[in-house]
A and B are shown apart, each in its own frame.
Chain A
Amino acid sequence: KAGVTQTPRYLIKTRGQQVTLSCSPISGHRSVSWYQQTPGQGLQFLFEYFSETQRNKGNFPGRFSGRQFSNSRSEMNVSTLELGDSALYLCASSLNRVRELFFGEGSRLTVL
């Protein structure tokens, strides 16, 4: 069974640009969660989607948005990038609300 796939793995952007990250969950998993990981703040919850509906949202500004498609694939978008958005963005899928999460390898975003 294929794991969680995140693309792209690495990307470099400049301030003010926007970025879209993609996540393909494990087949059959309907829940997708996104986390931002930085050395200073650790793992911060961004949002969770289940069956195309945002079920929960973390304390991030509106520049951070996401969506989930009918095939459970998910995307997150960050607009008007700031230097502080440089981080490893992790996507995780789970079968149900029991919440054993399966993580992808992450998308490492560098904002210059």
Chain B
Amino acid sequence: SQQGEEDPQALSIQEGENATMNCSYKTSINNLQWYRQNSGRGLVHLILIRSNEREKHSGRLRVTLDTSKKSSSLLITASRAADTASYFCATDLSGANSKLTFGKGITLSVRP
């Protein structure tokens, strides 16, 4: 099963609204990352939050991490039509042979 599970699976909002996406995971992590993918393209790294951090900002993005609940949220403020994409959380597990494991993604549609 996937290490990271995003919620909701799909989200449709109006331009200018905020979009909140959630990610839950199962085991201890070194860090958690969020990526964006436009249809059929490669993924683009958005933000990385380490296990000892609780909140991080980057432009219109705000990420929180709650290691006690094993969950993270990505907030996109003042959304734009160009934010329409799939968003993935990825967990970097603790351990020597860790690998970055992705969830199945959230499809965000921002209506103009």
Contact = CB atoms under 8 A, between A and B. Distances in A.
B100 A42 contact: no
Q: Is the interface of B mostly helix, strand, loop or mixed?
A: strand
Contact-residue bracket for chain B: 20 to 34
Given A42-B2, A43-B88, A88-B40, A100 B45 contact: yes
Interface residues of A, number: 23
Interface of B: 2, 31, 33, 35, 40-45, 48, 88, 90, 92, 97-105
Interface string A47-72: 01000000110100000000000000
28 contacts: A33-B100, A42-B102, A42-B103, A42-B104, A43-B43, A45-B99, A45-B101, A48-B99, A55-B97, A56-B98, A88-B40, A90-B43, A99-B92, A99-B100, A100-B45, A100-B48, A101-B33, A101-B35, A101-B43, A101-B45, A103-B35, A103-B42, A103-B43, A103-B44, A106-B40, A106-B41, A106-B42, A108-B40
